[in-house]
Amino acid sequence: MTTKPQGEPVRDELEFRRKSTYITDRITADGFGDWPVEAGRYRLVVARACPWANRAIIVRRLLGLESAISLAACAPTHDSRSWTFGSHAGDVDPVLGYERLQQAYLARFPDYDQGITVPALVDVPSAAVVTNDFAQLTLDFSTQWTGLHRAGAPDLYPEPLRDEMDAVMQRIFNDVNNGVYRCGFAQSQQAYERAYARLFGALDWLSERLATNRYLMGGSITESDVRLFVTLVRFDAVYHGHFKCNRHKLTELPVLWAYCRDLFQTPGFGDTVDFLEAKQHFYLVHAHINPSGVVPNGPDLSNWLTPHGREALGGRPFGDGTAPGPAPAGEAVPPGHGVV
């Protein structure tokens, strides 16, 4: 079954609207369609700089899918053609043999003219992209790849909570994950102010929700926490200044700052975050916002490891499961790119 990209047009030139144009094929346990779950068949292409890709890295790690789905990390910057697999001309991915992620898209759709996005799952035998539908991709890791989960993998998408989770994640996407981009890419004062109000209104709502709950859905981590974390962890380093999301820094929002430090210090979260590449990506790629190309040195990252006190709210991070082990060889954040 071949599913071409689906999407909707941009409707307002002054207000940023993310084009929801993705390849919506799914890899399923029952093999419906062309893409069955199969260990070693697919390669997850990411960029550590990208929050949407970071959440795929985290979910893959928490579920222990590293041996089932290989990982290819792109360089932090890209040009109009696409992400590259190395920092130097001629660098290629050792598995796919490509210099650019664009080649995997064109191998599937020779006339592909949409965005070349990460994360993307690529079929290794054909070296062609399967899907870049980032929202469904991680949910399928939880629901379709269960036969290949590690022993002790947490349930990140508990069936009894899905209706409420979906609603929470939708607001997080609209007003926080995408909300920071709405602020940064607004083309008028009015569009910016609307986005700013939505973003900080949502952060206030999340602060209230998390004041008495350790995690968004109660006593253990779910995918909703992963989705919120990847934006919060980049907030002070990127969005506060670069995207003008400056009512408060994360460090000035007591509940969210403690919550995010709690997650950051949990195996599988903070040890996947590459602050250096995140700053390089946003400050270098968005030349219309930062024409000088200067990448800031700050902020100080040492406070990410300070006590957060969230244990007092109870709960168990992984529910009945266990923490993941260290990152596989070659997948750890490079020295000097993270907190430690």
Cα 236 to Cα 61, 215, 277, distances in angstroms: 25, 21, 14
Name, in order, each residue with C-beta under 8 angstroms of 105's C-beta and a sequence gap of 6 or more: 82, 112, 116, 120, 129
Q: Active site residue: 42, 50, 98, 192, which one?
A: 50
For 303, phi then psi, to 5°, come to: -75, -10
- Annotated catalytic residue 50: yes
Q: How many angstroms separate the CA atoms of 97 and 135, rounded?
A: 27
> CB neighbours (10 Å) of residue 122?
28
* Alpha-carbon span 5 to 285, nearest angstrom: 24
Active-site annotation holds for 196:
no
74 neighbors 99 (Cβ within 8 angstroms): no
User: Is 83 annotated as contributing to ligand binding?
Assistant: yes
- Per the DSSP assignment, residues forming a β-bridge with 317 are none
For tokens 């030139």, the residue is 13
Instruction: Annotate 8-64 with three-state secondary structure.
Output: CCCCCCCCCCCCCCECCCCCECCCCCCCECCCCCEEEEECCCCHHHHHHHHHHHHHC
- Indicate which residue of 98, 105, 157, 181 is catalytic: 181
Nearest CA to 178 out of 272, 243, 262, 270 is that of: 243
Residues annotated as catalytic are: 50, 181
Annotated binding site for glutathione: 83
Annotated binding site: 83
